[in-house]
Amino acid sequence: MKSTVTKSIVITGVSTGIGHGTAVELCRRGFRVFGSVRTDEQAARLQRELGTAFTPLLFDVTDADAIGRAVATVRGEVGDGGLFGLVNNAGIANPGPLTSVSPDVLRRHFEVNVVSVLHMVQAFLPLLRGTKEGRPGRIVNISSVSGRIAYPFMGPYAASKHALEALSDSLRRELMIYGVDVIVIQPGSVDTPIWDKAAHLNTTFDGTDYHPVLKHMNLSDARHTALPVSAVTRRIVDALVVKRPKARYVVPDQRVRYWLLPRWLPDRWLDRAIDRLLNFQKIRDDINRS
């Protein structure tokens, strides 16, 4: 007799963007979704939107004690059914030149984008190691093309995503003893509210040598060419449900320009291309005249 056990998945950062789109799609497909939010208002809104298929979990991913309470809640709901998947989506991106950003900004990126993932994996692993249906759960980590290619002014974000890539590789190889797979999703630019949070780039660094470049950067133009959230959620669903998922799913917004060419070109060639693109020669000239 076929089991009717509902498959349960935990997703971090479901209030907006990729996390929200993934929660919506998985609920639509009949999964039970537990999603992390940080406010009661977000929890109530998502509960109204998604109905009984969704259970909000109120915690910040950097709060290990709160994660522990969330595990207890999920365990009480799923019982012996365990978890079908864990999607580590929550993250931050705070751009700026590395010569000027506070070290606390870099530290915060690692705390949210890397250390919190380890907290989540360690806490939820007992629920992922096996289900009534026999298949261990899967872990899906949302990285970025910045996890392989580091562009100017994205240093803290790119560094944290490079670290997440390494963390994911080590986890995937270590967790083979339990049959728990770890899959990485590497999106390019995606049309999410994270662009609004990066709008400070044009003004925050007015006093730096990079101001002549930064003041002309129009983030809204980049957002117009960004991928829809649905392009990423499709890959997340694939990572969770296909029989033999890839270790990585790359979802670049412009495959040749932002993925293939930067990885094919020698590093120094790419450096020179970026130098010309951002007109760094003007900055050098201004520095030499001062």
Domains in the chain, CATH or no CATH each: 8-253 (3.40.50.720)
Q: Decide: 188 and 145 in contact? Cβ < 8 Å.
A: yes
Active site residue 151: no
> Mean pLDDT across the stretch 23-49?
97
pTM for the whole thing? Answer: 0.92
Name residues whose C-beta falls within 8 Å of residue 53's C-beta, 6 or more positions apart in sequence.
Answer: 27, 30, 31, 32, 33
pLDDT of residue 53: 96
Burial of 176 (0-12, 13-18, 19+ CB in 10 A): exposed
Segment among 78-82, 195-199, 236-240, 249-253 with least mean pLDDT? 195-199
What gap in Å lies between CA 14 and CA 53, rounded to an integer?
A: 14
pLDDT of residue 202: 53
Catalytic choice (151, 157, 249, 258): 157
Both tokens of residue 56? 């909000």
6-41 b/e with 16+ CB inside 10 Å = b? ebbbbbbbbbebbbbbbbbbbbeeebbbbbbbbeee
Is residue 22 predicted with pLDDT exceeding 90?
Answer: yes
Is residue 193 predicted with pLDDT exceeding 80?
Answer: no
Per the prediction, the chain carries an average pLDDT of: 90
Is residue 279 predicted with pLDDT exceeding 80?
Answer: yes
Residue-wise pLDDT for 238-261, tens only, equals 999 999 999 999 998 888 888 899
pLDDT of residue 106: 97
